[in-house]
Structure 1
Amino acid sequence: MKRRQFTRTALGLTLAASLLPLSAAAQDAWPPRKITFVVALGPGGSADRTARALAQRMQEELGVPISVINQEGGGGHVGHTYFTQMPADGSYFLATSIHPYIANAILRFDADYTLDDFAFINGQWNDYDLFAVNAETPYASLDEFMAAAKETPGKLRVSVVPGSTGAINLELALEAYGLDKSAVNVVTYESGGAARTAVAGGQVEMTVLAADGTLSIAEYVRPLALAADNPSKDWDAPTLNAALEQAGLEPVPVLAGSMRGLAAHAAFKAEHPEAFQKMVDAYKTVLEDPEFVASLEAQDIGAEWLGPDRTSEMITSNFEILKRYEDAQ
C-alpha cells in the first residue's frame, strides 16, 4: 500500500510539475522552429515588400526561418480570416497593411473577428494624407484655402478617392473650420493617380491623398498640411493639427492612411506575454539597426517604430472615425 501510495503521489507530482509550468515552458521555448508571416494582400505591393524585407532580417535576429505567404481577397478579409484560424502560439503573425484594411473589413463584411482578436505590435510604414493645392493657386496655407471656401461656398474643387482616408480627413478639416462638405466641390476619382493628375493639371484646386504617392507630382503642387503626428522630411508643410492650432482651432483625430506593420493573435499575447515581448523586442531591435534601416529606405520602405501601445491606440481611434463615417453613408 505504501508503495502504491508513493507511486500515485509521485505520479501526481510528476503530472503537476509537467502541467503547471506549461505556459512558462512555452515561453522559454519560443520562438518555434518556423514562423510564418501572413500577408493579406497580393504579392509585389507595399505591404508584401515590407513583410518580406522584415522577415529576412527578423529571421536573423530570432534565429529561425520566417516564411511569407499571401492570402489575398476581399480587401484583406480573406487573409485576416486565414490568420485568425491559424494556431495562436506565436508561429503565425499578420504582416500586412494592418490599417485601414482590418477596420474596413470588419465594417463592410460579416467578419468573424474584431479588433480585439489582434495584438498589434508595430505600424512600421505609415502613409499619411497630404492636403496639397495646385502650385498656380494663391493659397499659401490651409487657413487661406478654408477662408476662401467660406467666402465662396462650392466654388473650390477638391479631388479625393471615395471611401478613402483622404475623403474623411477632408471632412474632419472642414468640420474643424466650422464648414460642411458643401463649402467645397468634392470631385471623386476611382484612383489616386487620377485624383493627383486632376490637381497637377489644374482641374481641381486641391487634393487630399497619400503623401508618398503625391511625391510623383511634387513640382506641380504646394503642400498645405499633413494629417500625421509629425511633419514629413519630404514636404514643407505643418501637420494638420499644427495648422489648426495656428488658426486657433481645436485639434482633430490623426487618421492614418495606410499602416503596414505586424500583428499577433491577441490570445498569444494574453497567454504568453513573455514570448510576445520577445517578438516586440526583436522587431524594435531590427528597426534600430542603421544598416537595415538604410536598406529599407533604399527600397522606399518605411522604418518607423511606434510600438504596441501607440499602434493599437491609432488603430482603435481610427476605427471609431471610420465607423462614424461608415454609419453616416
Structure 2
Amino acid sequence: MRRRIIMTTGLAALAAPTVHAQGAWPSRPLRVIIPYTPGGATDAMARLAAQKLGEGLGQTVVVENRPGGNGVIGTQAVLQAPADGYTILGSASTHVLQHLVLKAPGYDPIADFQPIARTGRAPALLVMDPKRPQRSLAEVVAAAKADPRAWSFATSSLGASGHLAAVAFNQATGAGIEIIPYRGTAPALVDVQAGNIQLLFDSAAALLPTVRSGNVRALAITARVRSALAPEVPTAIEQGLPGFEFASWYGVWAARGMAQDQVERMNAIIQAGLREPATSQRLAGLALEAITESIAETNRYIAADVEKNAALLRFANFQPE
C-alpha cells in the first residue's frame, strides 16, 4: 500500500542552517518504508515521523507499507536502496531484535542500520476473546493449564514487546501457552475478536480503541501503575506478576552509510516536531509518550534494551524461527 503525504514547511527554519552543508539534499521526495500492515501503532508513529520530516525538510514524503516475513521484506527494501538520505525505515523495537528471533533475516539490525530517532513508547495491554468467561490473569492461567490446546497467544511479530511479554508471561506463570506470530497488529487483533486466537499482548495505543468498543476484553496493562486512559484495567503487577513491565517503542532508522549530517538533521527535525505541545498532547490521548533524545542517547538505550531482552529469550530457551 502506498500513501503520499504532501508536507508544508512549518519547520523549515529549523532545517535552514544545514541546507548549505547538505548542498541540494533533499532535492526530491523521500520514502519511509514501514515493514508492517497499516493500522497499528508502528504505522501511526512512522507516519507521524514522516509528517514532521516533510514539514522540516520542505519535501514530499511517500509512506509505503511493505509487510511480510516478520518485518524482513520491508526492512530489506531499505537496506537495498542507496544510502543517500532518500529512503528510511519506520519500525519499532522489533527491529533491533530480529537477529535474535529469526534464524536468518539476511542482515544485522544493529550493524547494518543506524537509528535516526526513537519517537514514542506505550505500555502493552493484554486483551482476550470477549466470549471467554475469564476475568483475571489467575483465571486465564488456571484455564490454560487445565486445557492447553484451547489457548494461544497472537503476537504482531516476533521480537515485539507483545511477543516478549507473552514469553515472560509463560515463564512467570508456567502456563505454556502457544505463541503464534502474525503480520502486524491488525490481523492479529481480527483473529482475537473472531475467537480464533484467545490472547494478545500489544501496544495500549493500538488496542484501547477496540477495548472501548467491547470487541475485546482488557485483562491487564504492563505498566507500573494503571493508565489514566483506562483506570479500570489492573496492572499485571497487581495481579501477582512482580516487575512485569513491557513497553512498545517506535522509531526511524537509516541504512549504514547515510551521511551523518543527514541523520543528525532528521533527528533534530523529529525531536522538534515531537516537542510541539499539540503533538505531545495528541499522543498522550492515544496512550503514547513522545520520546525526544539525541542519537547517542538512542544508541545507549538500544544497547541496553537488546541486552535485557536477549537475556529473557535465553532464559526462556526461545529458539529462533
1:36 to 30, 34, 37: 30
> Aligned pair 1:124/2:119, yes or no?
yes
Give 1:1-329 correspondences, 5 Å limit: 29-30=21-22, 32-34=25-27, 36-41=30-35, 44-46=38-40, 47-48=42-43, 50-61=45-56, 63-70=57-64, 72=66, 74-75=68-69, 76-88=71-83, 91-100=85-94, 103-104=97-98, 107-126=102-121, 128-132=123-127, 134=130, 137=133, 139-140=135-136, 142=137, 144-145=138-139, 149=142, 153-155=145-147, 158-161=151-154, 165=160, 166=162, 168-177=164-173, 179-181=174-176, 191-198=188-195, 207-210=199-202, 211=204, 212-213=206-207, 215-218=209-212, 219=214, 223-228=218-223, 231-236=226-231, 237-240=233-236, 242-243=237-238, 247=240, 251=243, 254=246, 256=248, 259-268=249-258, 272=260, 276-293=263-280, 302=288, 304-305=290-291, 307=293, 308=298, 309-310=300-301, 313-314=304-305, 317-318=308-309, 321=312, 326-327=318-319
CA deviation after TM superposition for structure 1 residue 114, in Å: 3.4
Between the aligned partners of 1:228 and 1:58, the Cα distance in structure 2 is 31
Root-mean-square deviation (Å) = 4.5
CA deviation after TM superposition for structure 1 residue 234, in Å: 3.2
| Residue deviations 1:210-229 (CA, integer Å, cap 9, x gap) | 24235324446653322357
Query: Do 1:223 and 1:235's aligned partners in 2 also have CA atoms closer than 8 Å?
Result: no
Query: Do 1:50 and 1:301's aligned partners in 2 also have CA atoms closer than 8 Å?
Result: no
Give 5+ residue unaligned stretches, structure 1.
Answer: 1-25
Relative to structure 1, the CA distance from residue 159 to residue 82 in structure 2 (aligned partners, 3 Å threshold; closer, same or farther) is closer
The TM-score normalised by the length of structure 1 is 0.62
Query: Do 1:122 and 1:311's aligned partners in 2 also have CA atoms closer than 8 Å?
Result: no
What is the DSSP-based 3-state SS (H/G/I as helix, E as strand, rest coil) of the residue aligned with 2:146?
coil
Percent sequence identity over aligned pairs: 17
Give 5+ residue unaligned stretches, structure 2.
Answer: 1-17, 183-187
What is the DSSP-based 3-state SS (H/G/I as helix, E as strand, rest coil) of the residue aligned with 2:238?
helix
Between the aligned partners of 2:320 and 2:43, the Cα distance in structure 1 is 32
Aligned length: 280
CA deviation after TM superposition for structure 1 residue 39, in Å: 0.7
| Match in the other structure for 1:9 | none
The TM-score normalised by the length of structure 2 is 0.63
Between the aligned partners of 1:281 and 1:319, the Cα distance in structure 2 is 30
Query: Do 1:120 and 1:311's aligned partners in 2 also have CA atoms closer than 8 Å?
Result: no
Between Structure 1 and Structure 2, the one with more helix by share is 1
